[in-house]
Chains A and B, each alone.
Chain A
């Protein structure tokens, strides 16, 4: 599903250049649930931004679902993001004046799905994350865990090839974190490919594979026995 080859990325900081990613190679197959771990500054967020086409690598190859991702302009990147990717952010990033349902329906608007179908689909995904009753509430009427579930429903709504989660539990307490991870595991069980960036050991162990980044290189890439989050909920 995801194939990256010798990926390099550096940032200019004044006269110095900060080499963040130093030649990464790895691949992710369909249906995997991968945790990318590392301390801050290890390059994990940069990697996720590149995978999410929010940023572009300096060199190296990136193939997503057989499509080589290169020479992106904003318009093309927007098209690919809409078609291939669903984002889950640490800070949820819901639009605060739109109801839960409208937030979930938004990616479908950019896929030019008619309004009626958008709403039906949004309701469907909201009920999948258990928030059907909250469909018409605004984000600030929801708890943190509920907001993240709305965000997950939104990421799912476009039916992307890959879900990219950037510290999805970073802003949540552990109980709510497990609930969210339980949801992510369920989505993965349905066959979706998911990438989770985290620095929390327990969250990482709820994935099926852990890629450990340190100073811009992969220091460890191992398959783990998945801990089911449901046992903590």
Chain B
């Protein structure tokens, strides 16, 4: 490879056979280009799905009550189920080792919220201090509700960025401002960011405050849990299904609900939902890979075809070179050297162009379910090597055959 004379000979040949070089290069470059773009979109699709599910913590499990639809143990159907602190505490203790984060939630109703003279029409929710992580809310400023606030039934509030933006646009920061909830002042201690505007239109107060101050008693509306991360996705799904069924049967027993009454207590697991989408994206990714590999195969076939034609076209030249004293291996070496050089260069050109395109356009693509299409550089690089290698192997046989054609026959070739 370091033979300068041969490099000069090959560069000469390439320079003087521009069309041939261009065509070989084009098939390689376009093969790589298409593959990388496809893989990029496969990844983008996966990213998009992942983002849809990033709204809440990936392993979250939610409980909300409904109405019984079946008669059970002498109780009529049509009963409304009310969750209470006891449900929360009982479930939390019973399933403690399966739970990572936990929080009840209560929707505070029949209240009025004012800031100065302005009436605010945002939902107020009483939650526990771990709720922030369950919801995947990011603090923009200040802090979330903490454990101390809960114990002290502190009159503090955490508001969404949208509220901060819409209502508190005349002050530097909403932190330290007071809002008035049904005549009681609450001090704002933090603002949070969510993935969707709708989720930023909420005011969080400590659950204890919500229950004590606004006549909530021990009622709660939701239970929210997250499970610890598992080794892999399938384990995580299995864990969450197990947790879900245990939680459900506990609650059903506590509320005397028929085990097959699906409408009385709802338990929803994000992972179980996600699994359906993930297997979809996996299939789509597989499909893109399949198309990509087919493209590469087409590229390899193209390269070998061109190599065959090149060797065919050069048979006479090979004969002349042999008559002048070229050894068979030097012929094979020359052809392979040239083809590897061309496929490698054009492969990298295709790689750079496609990666550049993804890099340039990727972050700007705003389509549902496609986010930041990008490709693993190593994967792309190895496809280039595969293509170069395959091209070399495909080129070797015709080159070897050509080098071993009888010189007289090669010279007679027109």
Partner-B contacts on A (CB < 8 A): 49, 52, 54-55, 74-75, 78-79, 81-83, 87, 89, 93-95, 97-98, 102, 106-107, 109-112, 114-115, 154, 158
Contacts and interface: CB of A to CB of B under 8 A. Distances in A.
B316 A93 contact: yes
B23 to A, nearest CB: 16
Given A54-B408, A97-B13, A87 B328 contact: no
Interface string B313-328: 0001101111111111
Contact size class for B? 20 to 34
A106 B329 contact: no
Given A97-B17, A112-B5, A81 B408 contact: no
B17 A81 contact: no
A158 B325 contact: yes
A110 B323 contact: no
Interface string B336-375: 0000000000000000000000000000000000000000
A107 B320 CA distance: 10
14 contacts: A49-B408, A55-B406, A78-B322, A78-B325, A79-B325, A82-B324, A82-B325, A83-B325, A89-B411, A93-B316, A93-B319, A98-B12, A98-B16, A110-B321
Contacts of B403: 74
B8 A106 contact: no
Contacts, number: 69
Interface in B261-313: none
Interface of B: 5, 8-9, 12-13, 16-17, 316-317, 319-330, 403-404, 406-408, 411
A107 B328 contact: no
A148 to B, nearest CB: 14
B3 to A, nearest CB: 10
B320 A95 contact: yes
B321 A106 contact: yes
Given A54-B407, A93-B316, A95-B317, A78 B327 contact: yes
Given A49-B408, A97-B16, A75 B317 contact: no
B408 A110 contact: no
B409 to A, nearest CB: 10
Nearest to B17: A97
B408 A55 contact: yes
A197 to B, nearest CB: 14
Contacts of A158: 324-325
Given A93-B411, A115-B5, A52 B323 contact: yes
A11 to B, nearest CB: 12
Contacts of A102: 12
Nearest to A86: B324
B18 to A, nearest CB: 10
A114 B3 CA distance: 11
Sorted from nearest, which 9 A-B pairs have the closest CB atoms? Answer: A82-B325, A110-B325, A97-B16, A107-B324, A78-B327, A54-B407, A75-B327, A74-B328, A93-B320
Contact of B404 (A74, A93, A94): A74
Contacts of B327: 74-75, 78-79, 110
A214 B5 CA distance: 46
A75 B328 contact: yes
